[in-house]
Structure 1
Amino acid sequence: MSSFPLISFLIALMLAAAVCTHGGQEPVLDTAGNPVLRTAQYLIQPYSPRSNGGGLLPVPVKLLPLCPLGISQSSVTALPGLPVSFSYPYALMDTYVSEGQAVNIEFKSDAWPGCEEFSKFWEVDESSSASEEPAILIGGKKRERNSWFRIERKEKFVGGNAYKLTTLAGTIGTVPGPWENAPQLVLTNDTSKTFLVKFHRIHDDSTATSTSTSRLEKLGLRMFPLY
């Protein structure tokens, strides 16, 4: 008897179990309390209103070589950072992003400081020169495991939910970066360095907002050295 029907049955059973498990997860919420959608763009910003910085920008992690770029928090609170989108490494039917589900994060902006040969997907530095707390870089690939991130709700505070970003190997935190000590995103197991974030949706139907954001993006990139 052929084993093909049995294999097909097992694959179907595994897919059904995955869908059921995924369906029970809570959606990640934006600052307005709405589910974070894969079809929209968001600013990832520090959760605490007392933070001494703004949103996230692509910046070099060292002087030479400049590429690939890392990710740092703007040292200026008024700068919102560059927008990102979320997608799943493999095809899923959900339109929203679920807590704990592996996702790709990609910068979505025409304002860019260079290193165009690299993708705008985030990844964990797995090079031989990576430190014990490897940097989060630009240049990832959707189906590479070091480009998979999870969004987990840390706590529910008055005024919204605080989330943290994690990977298969640890939590995303910050350390003082090379440019004016602006917080640089790294992979860490030190809970005191955890970077708590919120997600602010950018509405495409607002021309004024889009124009303002574009100007702020360009200003933010110029504020880092060498740009």
Structure 2
Amino acid sequence: MMSSFPLVSFLITLMLAAAVCTHGENRVNDTDGNPLRTTAQYLILPLSPRSNGGGLLPVPVKLQPLCPLGISQSSVKALPGLPVSFSYPYAIMDTYVNEMEAINIEFKSDAWPGCEEFSKYWEVDESSSASEEPAILVGGKKHERNSWFKIERKEPFYGGIAYKLTTLTGTIGTVPGPWENAPQLVLTNDTAKTFLVKFHKVHGDTTATTSTSRQEKLGLRMFPF
């Protein structure tokens, strides 16, 4: 009787190959059409150039206390904001960023407005004072579930794909913030507030923190704090 081991081995290999192919199809792409990598840094930019603001910056969500910082779009459309990196909460071999997989988002810049005692990881505000649409803050912890985000393909546009950022409990949207009404990132279930984005690669592949650029310094000075 012929052993079934070769057949089982073949089937396992086939399933693994299919999983790899499917995985590749779900990779998130940047504005050049290349897959996002955990070893690179990116600007998260609003999909529409007509949106009320530029790239993303760490800013206070209220006057007192100033810390922890929230995340808002630059009030100047021409400013691209600060770069971020993407990573997985737990060590895995994949260096590509895949749709609908839990990831951490972290600002990567030496230009910083204060609150250095907090990390630069994003998180959802889960404090007792959080509103019904809690702010997205800076100061998260890599392994905490409120610091886990996902990237979801939303719709194609001329020259690329629109994405939205989600969490385990909702979608990232924007509301008018405290500084010149610049759009502030919040967790929402209101689809009209969804923040559609694209990802622009900067500085090439690196695992180091980026140097402080003139644009980053200028961007932080645009907010009155």
- Shorter-chain-normalised TM-score: which range? 0.7 to 0.9
Output the amino acid matched with 1:172. Answer: I
1:3 maps to what in 2? Answer: none
- Alignment of 1:150 onto 2:144: no
Is this contact kept in 1: 2:52–2:183, CA < 8 A? no
CA gap of 1:99–1:19, structure 2 versus 1, over 3 A, is: farther
Is this contact kept in 1: 2:59–2:69, CA < 8 A? yes
Output the amino acid matched with 1:219. Answer: L
CA RMSD, aligned part only? 2.0
Is this contact kept in 1: 2:52–2:182, CA < 8 A? no
1:128 maps to what in 2? Answer: 128
> For residues 86-105 of structure 1, what are the structure 2 equivalents within 5 Å?
86-105=86-105
Displacement of 1:52 in angstroms is: 2.9
CA gap of 1:139–1:21, structure 2 versus 1, over 3 A, is: farther
Displacement of 1:51 in angstroms is: 1.8
CA gap of 1:91–1:131, structure 2 versus 1, over 3 A, is: same
Displacement of 1:172 in angstroms is: 0.0
Runs of 4+ with deviation above 4 angstroms: 17-23
Question: Partner of 2:219: helix, strand, or coil?
Answer: helix
Question: Partner of 2:198: helix, strand, or coil?
Answer: strand
* TM, length-normalised to structure 1: 0.86
Identity over aligned residues, as a percent?
80
State the Cα deviation string for residues 42-84 of structure 1 (Å, max 9, x = none).
0000011222311000000000000000000011111000000
1:222 maps to what in 2? Answer: 221
Is this contact kept in 1: 2:41–2:83, CA < 8 A? yes
Question: Partner of 2:213: helix, strand, or coil?
Answer: helix
Output the amino acid matched with 2:76. Answer: V
Q: How many residues align?
A: 205
Unaligned runs of 5+ in 2: 1-14
Output the amino acid matched with 1:180. Answer: E
Displacement of 1:21 in angstroms is: 5.8
CA gap of 1:154–1:117, structure 2 versus 1, over 3 A, is: same
